[in-house]
Amino acid sequence: KAGVTQTPRYLIKTRGQQVTLSCSPISGHRSVSWYQQTPGQGLQFLFEYFSETQRNKGNFPGRFSGRQFSNSRSEMNVSTLELGDSALYLCASSLGLAGEGGEQFFGPGTRLTVL
Amino acid sequence: AQSVTQLDSQVPVFEEAPVELRCNYSSSVSVYLFWYVQYPNQGLQLLLKYLSGSTLVKGINGFEAEFNKSQTSFHLRKPSVHISDTAEYFCAVWKDGAGGTSYGKLTFGQGTILTVHP
């Protein structure tokens, strides 16, 4: 069974640009969560999608958005990039809602560098 | 707000020695507890989880953790480490939301870098 895949693995952008990251969950998983990982702030929850609906959101500005498609694939978008957005963005999928105690399976992440 | 504190940012240890990675959480309600491991340039992999039941939880790669409700701790242990255990370890807590549109969220500690020396 294929794991969680994220594309692209690496991205370099400049300030002010926007970026879209993609996540394909494990087949059959309906929940997709996104996290930002930085050396200073650690792992922070961005949002969770389940059945194409955002179910929960972390404390990030509105520049960070996401969506989920009917096949459970998810994208996250960051507009008007800032230097501080440089991070590893991790996607995780699970069978049900993450809050049901189910295991979350993580992808390898997308490393975003903002110059 | 709940928080997770990993008491050691770095833990160096020699191969075949025992190790304990400490994690404390703050929450007045029931939570789910997790330990994840992250190898360089990879995502996170679940080591073990506590949802309910026995307070001693066994995970993969010989790791185990003990849930202590009175001390709000969930320390990770391994009796004998290997070079391949060198990685960063994260403790995480899931707390349910208040209901309605809030489905809770997973909160991670700052991570502990375990370095196993030969």
**Which residue reads 């290997």 in tokens?**
B82
* Separate counts of helices (H) and strands (E) for chain A: 0, 11
CB-CB neighbors (< 8 A) of B90 in chain A: 43
- The DSSP symbol for B98 reads S
Q: How far does the CA of residue B59 sit from the closest CA of chain A (Å)?
A: 13
CA separation, residue A36 to residues A44, A70, A84, B21, B27 (Å) = 5, 24, 11, 23, 23
Residue A62 pLDDT: 95
For chain A, 115 residues long, give each residue's pLDDT as a single digit of tens.
689 999 999 999 999 999 999 999 999 999 999 999 998 889 999 999 999 999 888 889 999 999 999 999 999 999 999 999 999 999 999 887 766 666 789 999 999 999 9
Question: Is B31 or B90 the better-scoring residue by pLDDT?
Answer: B90
Burial class (CB in 10 A: 0-12, 13-18, 19+), A80: exposed
Which chain A residue has its CA at the smallest distance from B101's CA? A55
Residue A89 pLDDT: 97
CA–CA dist B43, B76 (Å, integer): 19
Contact A48, A54 (CB under 8 A): yes
Question: Is B110 or A56 the better-scoring residue by pLDDT?
Answer: B110
- C-alpha distance across the termini of chain B, in Å: 41
Residue A52 pLDDT: 93
Q: How far does the CA of residue A14 sit from the closest CA of chain B (Å)?
A: 23
CA–CA dist A54, A20 (Å, integer): 17
Look at B41 and A104 and tell me if their CB atoms are within 8 Å: no
Q: How far does the CA of residue A101 sit from the closest CA of chain B (Å)?
A: 7
- The DSSP symbol for A85 reads G
CB-CB neighbors (< 8 A) of B44 in chain A: 90, 92, 106
Contact A13, A113 (CB under 8 A): yes
Q: What is the mean pLDDT of chain B?
A: 88
Please check the confidence at residue B65 and state whether its pLDDT lies above 90. yes
Share above pLDDT 70 across residues of chain B, in percent, rounded to a whole number? 87
Look at A48 and B105 and tell me if their CB atoms are within 8 Å: yes
Residue B28 pLDDT: 62
Residue A98 pLDDT: 67
Residue B1 pLDDT: 59
Look at B43 and A98 and tell me if their CB atoms are within 8 Å: no
CA–CA dist B98, B82 (Å, integer): 42
CA separation, residue B33 to residues A42, A96, B12, B39, B77 (Å) = 18, 17, 24, 20, 15
Please check the confidence at residue B49 and state whether its pLDDT lies above 50. yes
Residue B102 pLDDT: 45
Residue A84 pLDDT: 96
- Judged by DSSP in three states, A69 sits in coil
Residue B2 pLDDT: 61
CB-CB neighbors (< 8 A) of B94 in chain A: 98-99, 101
Residue type, A77: N
Q: How far does the CA of residue B8 sit from the closest CA of chain A (Å)?
A: 14
Residue B101 pLDDT: 43
- The DSSP symbol for B43 reads -
Report the pLDDT averaged over residues B55-72: 93
Residue B81 pLDDT: 97
pLDDT band, residue B97 (cuts 50/70/90): low
Least confident of A89-98, B56-65, B84-93: A89-98
CB-CB neighbors (< 8 A) of A97 in chain B: 103
